Amino acid sequence: MIAQPNRLRRNALASVAVASLVATGAAGFGLTQPSTPAYAQSLSKNPIETPDHPPGSFASVVDKVKPGVVAVKVKLDDSATSDDDDGPGQGQGQQVPPQLREFFKRFGQGGPGQGQGFGAPKRQGQRGAMGSGFIISADGYVVTNNHVVDKAKSVQVTLDDNRTLDAKVIGKDPKTDLALLKITEGGTFPYVSLSKSAPRVGDWVVAIGNPFGLGGTVTAGIVSARGRDIGAGPYDDFLQIDAPINKGNSGGPTFNVGGEVVGVNTAIASPSGGSVGLAFAIPAETVQAVVDQLRADGKVARGYLGVQVQPVTKDIADGLGLDKAKGALVDHAEAGTPAAKAGLKSGDVIETVNGTPINDARELSRKIAGIKPGAKVELTYLRGGKSDTATVELGVLPNDTRVANNDRGSSANGQPRLGLSLAPASEVGAGSEGVAVMEVDPDGPAAAKGIEQGDIILDVAGSSVSQPSEVAERIRSAETSGRKAVLMRVKSQKGVTRFVAVALNKAG
């Protein structure tokens, strides 16, 4: 097994004999025996009440939900070549999303004495993967991870009663790493329900799955944190749990003590490849929204606003005269997009969407993406220190576009002197607008903020500039008005615009 210290490792169930297990999240499925074909409806009449202290036993919960957890076995298609088995530490036929290839390289599985693990000979036609999943309806719909069934030639699920049944892939969503399957055999099946409420940090959770091929394994722990961004995708919003999760748990459920699914297990952080109590699950709220679309259309369509945004840092908040560093700062509203049609402009700070506060740029991305195209949303935003509202009809997120979250700039103390040599852009062949950066003092505050030779300063403190004297005037005005920082909009030589806040602390 190859594993690097302190690296997040996705449970690459799609590679070796590791079957279904747990998940964790923020919505739940209460398991029930089949007697009603209603989709995602719990049959439990008397859910277990959540205790405020450790329960004496989780047995009642396990008895109720365990029949709804399945192992997922996949045969990979011929396109799953060595490109998917990327280097040492990769499992046989392991499916690796491009953005996680480096992540997977460091997620070893198996080893001496552990059977067919990493480094095992590859046999044409026998490449496969295993993971976990859970049934969400009496007619046999199953939720699992996208990376478990990606490039699947065929899929089977093994039920708690040891029956192995064929299943087909209904739809996949790589951006959230979720997939929906359907058992092809007729009949009714035990199923579980997604929780309609998010768990609290500290709540007890129970994970059930198939780590290392050991089916029906039950582990327990608590919700350690919520809203984790682990860099796995554009809409990261993971639950963190400390219930032991290992390779083979991908796509499986984590339950609250009421028997509802609160999340789908997806990744772990580990120095060894095994559980160290840091596991991450897709919240049930996200799962419900994605599964509903996959079941109806076989794909997910996301809302599109058409803005590039960045976080409001403390320096940027100071530059804008804001009391708090919250919201999403609009870098640019693309022409012809819903945002531009609604009148949003560069420099606006989006504060709420349909009355829900937006804390940062990633939250705006998740919120907009979670709303169906064509829906009308109401945004509140700040412009020039004044609050305003706009009603926007969302478009469809293009395949190659997303609401950007650009973490640009850094917090560094600066001085009124920027450390720049400037010239009108029009006089040095750098375009018709703005002021060109001719030289940068490597020790100056502007350099510390990433401003480079060849950049174009488009506006300072919310006003456009075309002369170096105007830059100096805006800085003096900001300082006189008591601003702690001055906000500049800068365009790079590649044409990318960003906001840069330079602190106005005077030298001692």
166 catalytic residue (yes or no)? no
Model confidence at 412: pLDDT above 80: no
Model confidence at 389: pLDDT above 90: yes
Residue 127's pLDDT band (cuts 50, 70, 90): low
Where is pLDDT greater, at 303 or 420? Answer: 303
CA distance 387 to 350: 10
CA 161, 167, 172, 174 dihedral sign is positive
177 catalytic residue (yes or no)? yes
DSSP states of 117-141: -TTPPP-TT--EEEEEEEE-STT-E
Model confidence at 79: pLDDT above 70: no
Tell me which of 84, 132, 137, 147 is the catalytic residue: 147
Residue 485's pLDDT band (cuts 50, 70, 90): confident
- Quote the pLDDT of residue 251: 92
Mean pLDDT of 122-131: 57
- Quote the pLDDT of residue 38: 45
Helix (H) or strand (E) holding 387: strand 386-393
CA distance 25 to 28: 8
Give tens-digit pLDDT for 201-220.
Answer: 999 999 998 778 777 889 99
- Quote the pLDDT of residue 428: 65
Contact 499, 310 (CB under 8 A): yes
Tokens found for residue 323 = 């009391």
Cα-based torsion angle of the residue sequence 41, 369, 377, 39 in order, rounded to the nearest 10 degrees: -10
Residue 106's pLDDT band (cuts 50, 70, 90): very low
State the distance between the two ends of the chain, measured CA to CA, in whole angstroms: 55
Residue 355's pLDDT band (cuts 50, 70, 90): very high
Q: What single letter denotes the amino acid at residue 425?
A: A
3-state class (DSSP) for residue 281: strand
Give tens-digit pLDDT for 261-278.
Answer: 999 998 888 766 777 788
Where is pLDDT greater, at 175 or 85? Answer: 175
- Quote the pLDDT of residue 105: 34
Give tens-digit pLDDT for 244-255.
Answer: 888 888 899 999
- Quote the pLDDT of residue 24: 34
> What are the phi and psi torsion angles at 473 (to 5°)?
-65, -45
Where is pLDDT greater, at 65 or 56? Answer: 65
Model confidence at 14: pLDDT above 50: no
Tell me which of 250, 270, 275, 365 is the catalytic residue: 250
Give tens-digit pLDDT for 452-480.
Answer: 888 899 998 888 898 888 888 888 888 77
List the one residue out of 278, 252, 247 whose CA is nearest residue 265: 252
250 catalytic residue (yes or no)? yes
Tokens found for residue 182 = 């359907």
- Quote the pLDDT of residue 239: 93
Average pLDDT, the chain: 75
Mean pLDDT of 117-140: 66
For residue 373, what are the contacts with CB-CB under 8 A and spacing of at least 6?
Answer: 301, 302, 303, 304, 394, 395, 396, 397
Of 7-11, 121-125, 139-143, 172-176, minimum mean pLDDT range: 121-125
- The angle at the Cα of 424, spanning 418 to 428, to the nearest 5 degrees, equals 115
Where is pLDDT greater, at 30 or 335? Answer: 335
Of 37-51, 120-134, 297-311, minimum mean pLDDT range: 37-51
Where is pLDDT greater, at 483 or 64? Answer: 64
Model confidence at 421: pLDDT above 70: yes
Contact 266, 10 (CB under 8 A): yes
User: pLDDT over 90 for what percent of the chain?
Assistant: 35
3-state class (DSSP) for residue 505: coil
Which residues are paired to 132 by β-bridges? 71
Domains and CATH numbers, the chain: 7-37+59-295 (2.40.10.120), 303-405 (2.30.42.10), 420-503 (2.30.42.10)
Q: What single letter denotes the amino acid at residue 90?
A: Q
- Quote the pLDDT of residue 305: 92
Where is pLDDT greater, at 356 or 425? Answer: 356
For residue 497, what are the contacts with CB-CB under 8 A and spacing of at least 6?
Answer: 308, 331, 332, 346, 458, 489, 490, 491
- Quote the pLDDT of residue 370: 84
- Quote the pLDDT of residue 189: 97
Which residues are paired to 7 by β-bridges? 270
- Give the single-character DSSP code of 35: S
Residue 240's pLDDT band (cuts 50, 70, 90): very high
CA distance 140 to 70: 11
Q: What single letter denotes the amino acid at residue 163?
A: R
In a 13 Å sphere around the CA of 458, the CA atoms on its Cβ side amount to 17
Q: What single letter denotes the amino acid at residue 292?
A: D
- Quote the pLDDT of residue 53: 57
DSSP states of 171-182: EEETTTTEEEEE
Model confidence at 18: pLDDT above 70: no
- Quote the pLDDT of residue 365: 86
CA distance 173 to 309: 24
3-state secondary structure 321-374: CCCCCCCEEEEEECCCCHHHHCCCCCCCEEEEECCEECCCHHHHHHHHHCCCCC
Helix (H) or strand (E) holding 106: none
